[in-house]
Structure 1
Amino acid sequence: MQTSRGRRRAAGTPSAPRVVEDVAAERPRDLHRDARRRRGPFRQVTEFAAASGIGQKAGIALAATGLVLTVTVPATSPVMATDASGNAPLAASAVSPQISADIGAQIDFSRSAVVTQADPDGKLKQLLSAQSAGSVTRAASAGTLAAPLASLTTASPFGYRVSPITGGSGDFHRGQDFVAQCGTSVLAAATGTVTFAGWHQFGGGNRVVIDHGNGLETTYNHLSSFNVKVGQTVSRGDVVALSGTTGASTGCHLHFEVQVNGEVVDPMGWL
């Protein structure tokens, strides 16, 4: 027996069927999604890098490290890439990750020589290879040579002076004198080749000359002894001799010269 409530429900207007919206059916199908998934993120990055002109090498580095570099590539139309089968082009925005950089930016994976303060011989070599020693300015040459003694105390300077031997004025002093007790270690001011090691007949006494290339030479004079020979390669800071008072000297010291293309210059401009 039906109740009045049940009769009213049966006699009422049937409810409209519920409509379930198929969102997935309305979404446009990405025909190339499966192909991209099969290639994997590593290949996606390298292919896009090659297609956009950045280069396969850069793309491999980015994919290997997992880094995302945003690069803006100058173009008059959208950058397009194709899938692995060479089918219809894909918009760059469909490929992940996206790569961009400022206009004019350069991506270079080559190793370049870096010269720092920790490589003074490299700095000197770079300076001399760029120009001959004769055209190097004092500002550029300052600090390129190392001290020829562990501790420098200046004595008689480079240039005209009163001769300590004759007492006459107008004597031209060809180098810079440094205070040094006899037997003090004398150091090579830079890497080079020994071109002279012997007795200097014009007052230098025992003398060593080192050629550093491109017209630059250093000389060490009044030595008590030396331990290098002609043709030997020495490095910056190597002990090449011991200070003394041989030749035209009035006491133990080191007479240090810098020569540029055979002409002496003020050594303090290079130390």
Structure 2
Amino acid sequence: MSLSYAFIGLLVIFFIIFPVSADLKVHFLDVNEGDAVLLQADGKNMLIDAGTANSGNLTKYYLHSLGITTLDQVLLTSPEEGKSGALTNILNTTPTREYFDGGWNVSDGSYRDVLTMIDEENISHTTVRKGNEVPFAEGVNISIISSEPDGNTGAETLIPLITYGNIRFLLMGKEQTVPGNVSAQILRVADHGSRQGTDPGFVMNVHPDIAIVSSGDGNPDGNPNQNTLNILQTVGAKFMRTDIDGTITISTDGTIYSVGNLRMEPEITLSLVSVVETRAPV
């Protein structure tokens, strides 16, 4: 059985057995030590980052398994390879209506390949900065709350805060903190859960219910770091990691949310793991 067909069959089982009445679904994709998040709402699909070049087929097959043949928006939060590496693969096979990024001045690498394809395909290209909002679906607010220099490229990393009703998702990049008092039920942990990427005071302020880290299996940096896990445990957050839990899906109607996950097995088949819990906001 091909990877794409395995995705399709098992995802159908997932949604039939565990129907969730939700207006917004947020998928944290299992793309090894990279980042890729899919938003679905009001019949629209938005991809935030795409993962590394090596994970391009994983991202592409996941989109196609959900029947996604067109992306309404793509937001790239950093030119680094862990976020932009797979994007040309995605854009080459999935028509995209609008593309947003930080307008970085980077002379080479996967980001330049993305810009070339955006130009060749005549995709609408908008530069966003701190304080801007990225349009998506009605009722879903995606605001850029900060943009800090990335440690590898020196370019500013966009940090999206996604709000739907009373539920908020904060997608950190490599930076430890953002200015101001920001709280969110779901936190994507900074820098793949590294020790230097997690600030105790900031995590206490955000006070997440669910903390998600994109981590590669057997990655050389040893992420997530045990100190990071301890910090998250201190604030009472349930910690989930893509290298163990697989793709993590949060479904919400703006008042409550449910958490599920799907994992790839060594035989490259996808299996349903669980629907973890349903929570209302604090």
Question: Would you say same fold, with TM above 0.5?
Answer: no
Query: Under a length normalisation based on structure 2, what TM-score does the superposition of the two structures give?
Result: 0.20
What TM-score, normalized to structure 1? 0.21
Structure of higher CA gyration radius: 1
| Larger fraction in strand | 2
Q: Which has the higher contact order (CA 8 A, sep 6+)?
A: 2
